[in-house]
């Protein structure tokens, strides 16, 4: 028998199994979504559908998703210390390490252990994971205690990184290693692609995304505008835009190389810092 009990806010409810303690997993019963792209208070077709749509993964067991998004501060305030995302964070960290290590090992067959270790650190650092979490608006869905919420915990890098690792751990338990790997590689595509084109310490695409998403959650978008030259010496022209504003263009011998050059030029020009009447946003292609 399941009894639905009210908790703190009218829109959050907790299922209570008769004869047991309340289980703090209100997410999957929330009836109103706050998807930033749809406006605050927009009714969601399904409680966590906006997030699941963003990651292109539908959970079979919604309790795993709820656990992944429950910050320890809420568990503490709800007197349920054993229900938070710390265990899933532990698992997700190991899953991420393995997936990224295997992918880098495959992509860079000539790299030494030291270089591969540096590349992996770039991808799975707390700062990078917080950036990936911001890209899917994960902070919108994390359940926090009142104190953590009031202190800005929803935007805190550690909170976002932990929730991201817990999310990957939840997918791993929900469906196994293959869907988890597919999800990670899909979310990390831009970062890993930038490494392939520019495997040294600097990653213009990652740097640009991090810079822009500190201002707005929307990620920069890349488009190949043209290609020219013979088949053996093809030249691609890539354009990077953000919030309907063209930031820069770049040329390269491959599509990924052109995108990296466009990102590097965008970082140099910093069009987003210019006033609206500073002139056209269409910049000449980077050499």
Contact, 231 vs 220, CB < 8 A?
A: no
Cα of first residue to Cα of last residue in the chain, in angstroms, is 68
Which of 181, 138, 182, 197 lies closest to 162 in space, CA to CA? 138
The single residue of 67, 89, 93, 191 carrying the catalytic annotation is 93
Sheet holding 235-242, edge to edge: 221-228, 235-242, 245-252, 285-286
CB atoms within 10 A of CB 97: 14
Q: Which is the catalytic residue, given 84, 89, 103, 165?
A: 165
Sign of the torsion formed by the C-alpha atoms of 103, 263, 131 and 30 = negative
Q: From start to end of the chain, where are the E strands?
A: 2-7, 9-17, 221-228, 235-242, 245-252, 285-286
For the chain, the C-alpha Rg in angstroms (whole number) is 21
Q: What gap in Å lies between CA 89 and CA 161, rounded to an integer?
A: 9
Decide if 93 is catalytic. yes
Phi, then psi, of 152 in degrees rounded to 5: 85, 25
Task: Estimate the share of the chain in helix, then strand, then coil, as percent rounded to the nearest 5.
Answer: 50, 15, 35
Whether 9 is a known active-site residue: answer no
Whose tokens are 């009031």? That residue is: 150
Catalytic residues: 93, 165
């Amino acid at each position: 028998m399941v009894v639905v009990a009210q908790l703190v806010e009218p829109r959050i409810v907790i299922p209570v199994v008769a004869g047991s303690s309340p289980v703090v997993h209100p997410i999957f019963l929330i009836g109103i979504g706050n998807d930033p792209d749809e406006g605050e208070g927009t009714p969601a077709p399904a409680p966590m559908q906006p997030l699941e749509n963003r990651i292109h993964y539908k959970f079979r067991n919604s309790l795993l998703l709820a656990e992944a998004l429950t910050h320890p501060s809420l568990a503490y305030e709800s007197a349920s210390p054993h229900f938070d995302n710390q265990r899933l964070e532990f698992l997700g960290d190991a899953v991420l390490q393995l997936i990224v290590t295997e992918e880098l090992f495959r992509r860079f067959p000539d790299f030494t252990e030291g270089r591969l270790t540096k590349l992996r650190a770039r991808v799975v650092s707390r700062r990078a994971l917080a950036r990936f979490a911001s890209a899917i608006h994960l902070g919108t869905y994390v359940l926090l205690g009142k104190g953590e919420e009031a202190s800005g915990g929803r935007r805190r890098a550690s909170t976002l990184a932990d929730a991201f690792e817990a999310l990957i751990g939840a997918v791993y338990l929900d469906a196994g290693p293959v869907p988890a790997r597919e999800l990670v590689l899909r979310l990390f595509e831009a970062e890993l692609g930038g490494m392939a084109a520019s495997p040294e310490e600097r990653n213009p695409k990652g740097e640009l995304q991090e810079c822009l998403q500190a201002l707005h959650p929307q990620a920069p978008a890349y488009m190949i505008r043209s290609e020219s030259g013979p088949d053996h010496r093809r030249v691609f022209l890539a354009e990077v835009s953000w919030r309907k504003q063209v930031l820069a263009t770049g040329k390269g011998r491959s599509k990924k190389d052109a995108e990296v050059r466009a990102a590097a030029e965008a970082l140099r020009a910093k069009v987003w810092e210019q006033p609206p009447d500073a002139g056209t946003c269409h910049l000449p292609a980077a050499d």
